[in-house]
Chain A
Amino acid sequence: MAGQTPWQTTGPFFHFGFCWKGGADLTGDSALGSRPDLTAPGHDVLAEPGTTNRRLVKGERIEIVGQMFDNTGAPFTDALIEIWQANAAGRYACPEDNRAEIPLDENFIGFGRAATDKQGAYRFRTIRPGRVPGPGNTLQAPHIAFGLVGPGILKRLLTRIYFADAPENDEDPILALVPAARRSSLIATREPGAADIYRFDIRLGGPQETVLFDI
């Protein structure tokens, strides 16, 4: 046995390394996710991803937008948000998910990363995930796992987002563990006037504090 390596904060100066081109766009070959505005001129050295054909990803295209706030309600201006999700059919692009009866999507991986800006805002382009199994014989509602790091965060914070228009939320085994009064902090809502944009704000304190998970 070996002792687990302790976590440390990312600090504020990670953007030129950890934010890669296209990292926040899981469905297209765009540059969303990189932060040339924060990289010293001439220091954009990392190779770009190989050809991905991400524009061919199957599923309903959505955007997830939101703002992150610290425990005083001030914008969290330099967080790094990571997401992990299943494809539209409900299968994870990981050998551990070996359910051959659910198709993989060769153009979709399901991992993304976006840094918040001066307003604490972030944006991902992805697809609405399918359902995946939960504990026992349960089925989970469509959801996306969120990991939050950044300066001032010593160890990653974890949460999940669900979709307000998903009737499956009522039978989700993880949401059922969350006190009813706090469930709404995990539910992304459609932006008024935009059918494909969901808003998910993250609050580290206050009356609408986002529920965080310990896994």
Chain B
Amino acid sequence: MIEESDELIVRAARALSGMPPTKAGAVARVLMAVRANQARPLPFWKRAMRRFDETSVSAKAAGLLMAASLVIGFFARGTVGNARDSFAGGSELSGTALQSIANMPAESRPVPVAVAVELANAKTVAVVGDFNGWDPSVTPMQRVGKDGPWSATVLAKPGRHTYAFMVDGATLVADPRAPRAKSSDFDGDASVMMVRTP
């Protein structure tokens, strides 16, 4: 066991422990932002996540099994090299949460897009992009097998999207299989995917 505490570290920690002054109105601004967010219509995938969360455990298990079967089916087709191809079979994703996809105009309907990357030494990988607010907590990737590629499915509207992979929560890596382009959200070398209208 490593014990790292000593006088200098305690002094350093104490120096960082002072509570910064809360600016006047800061809490009110937070609450206003929360209310503004509530008033804004949530994107489809967030509503789906909420509904998913409110479903029973057995329904969640069924959903997870279905998602797992999609991932397995994806790799069984041997299409790792075309990992950004969109799923054509959206109807396979049954459930109340996904029903609203079918009700949306095709040109704005989010499309499940499978993404995969080989990062042998990574401990965690998340796909981040303009479709999920560049938030690494939204779409963590799962490893296929012990040493296989990392994969995930994102929901993205038809059109051009920029994305990258967040490795071990600290390093952004572009997709080696995808073209690259500058992005205002990224440091000049984001990957690009084109999502077709289903």
Partners in one complex: no
